[in-house]
C-alpha cells in the first residue's frame, strides 16, 4: 500500500453558505461543486486547495450520523481522507495489523471512487477515510496485467 496524497479534509458545519463564505472571503478558496448525497444524508461543498480539497459537510436531516456528530460535538473536522494506490491491499494490510475498520470491504461511490473508513479508536481519535480513485485502480490493473504478461513471457523463455 502506498499513500498518494492527502485527498481531503471534511469539516461538518451547521450552515453551508456561511462556511463557504468564510473559506472564500478569508482564504480565497472557491467552491468547484456542491452535491447533495442522499445516501449519506449530507450536502457537500467541494473546495479545491492545491492538490487536496476542503469538503464542507452539512447534514440534510437531524437523524443521520453526521447530524448526530454535529449535535454532540459542534462544527469541526469530521474526517480526513488519504488517497491510496490499492484500497483492497490497504484494508487487508490494516486488518492484519489489527486496525479497527468500519468498512472491511470498500464501498463504491457513484463516480467509481472506492472508499472505506478506519475507526477513530485505531487512528488516535481521527476518523480516517481511504480513497482509491477509478483512474488509479485502472492504472494498477494495467500495471498488473503488464507484470503478468512479463512473467508469462519470462516463463516461456525458460
Ligand atoms: Zn470524505
**pLDDT at residue 135, as a whole number:** 84
pLDDT category at 91 given cuts 50, 70, 90 is: very high
pLDDT of residue 47: 97
Mean pLDDT of 102-118: 93
Mean pLDDT over the full length of the chain:
90
| Superfamily of 3-157 according to CATH | 2,3-Dihydroxybiphenyl 1,2-Dioxygenase, domain 1 (3.10.180.10)
141 Cα–ligand 1 center, Å: 24
Spacing, Cα 78 to ligand 1 middle (Å): 9
Tell me the CA–centroid distance for residue 58 and ligand 1, in Å: 13
H or E element at residue 84: strand 76-84
pLDDT at residue 46 is higher than 60: yes
Note whether 79 and 128 are within 8 A (CB). Answer: yes
To the question of pTM greater than 0.85 for the whole model, the response is no
pLDDT surpassing 80 at residue 158: no
For residue 23, pLDDT beyond 70: yes
DSSP 10: E
Name the least confident of 36-40, 47-51, 65-69, 117-121. Answer: 36-40
Write the secondary structure of 48-83 as one string of H (helix), E (strand) and C (coil): EECCEEEEEEEECCCCCHHHHHHHHHCCEEEEEEEE
Cα(46) to centroid of ligand 1, in Å?
Answer: 10
The rounded Å distance from CA 139 to ligand 1 centre is: 22
Amino acid at each position: 500500500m502506498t499513500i498518494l496524497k492527502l485527498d481531503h479534509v471534511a469539516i461538518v458545519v451547521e450552515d453551508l453558505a456561511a462556511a463557504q463564505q468564510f473559506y472564500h472571503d478569508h482564504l480565497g478558496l472557491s467552491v468547484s461543486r456542491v452535491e447533495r448525497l442522499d445516501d449519506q444524508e449530507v450536502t457537500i461543498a467541494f473546495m479545491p486547495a492545491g492538490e487536496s480539497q476542503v469538503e464542507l459537510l452539512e447534514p440534510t436531516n437531524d437523524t443521520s450520523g453526521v447530524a448526530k456528530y454535529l449535535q454532540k460535538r459542534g462544527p469541526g473536522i469530521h474526517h480526513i481522507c488519504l488517497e491510496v494506490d490499492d484500497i483492497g491491499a490497504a484494508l487487508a494490510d490494516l486488518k492484519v495489523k489489527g486496525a479497527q475498520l468500519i468498512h472491511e470491504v470498500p464501498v463504491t461511490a457513484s463516480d467509481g471512487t472506492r472508499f472505506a473508513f478506519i475507526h477513530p479508536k485505531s487512528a488516535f481519535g481521527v476518523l480516517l477515510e481511504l480513497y482509491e480513485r477509478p483512474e488509479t485502480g485502472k492504472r494498477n490493473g494495467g500495471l498488473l496485467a503488464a507484470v503478468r504478461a512479463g512473467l508469462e513471457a519470462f516463463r516461456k523463455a525458460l
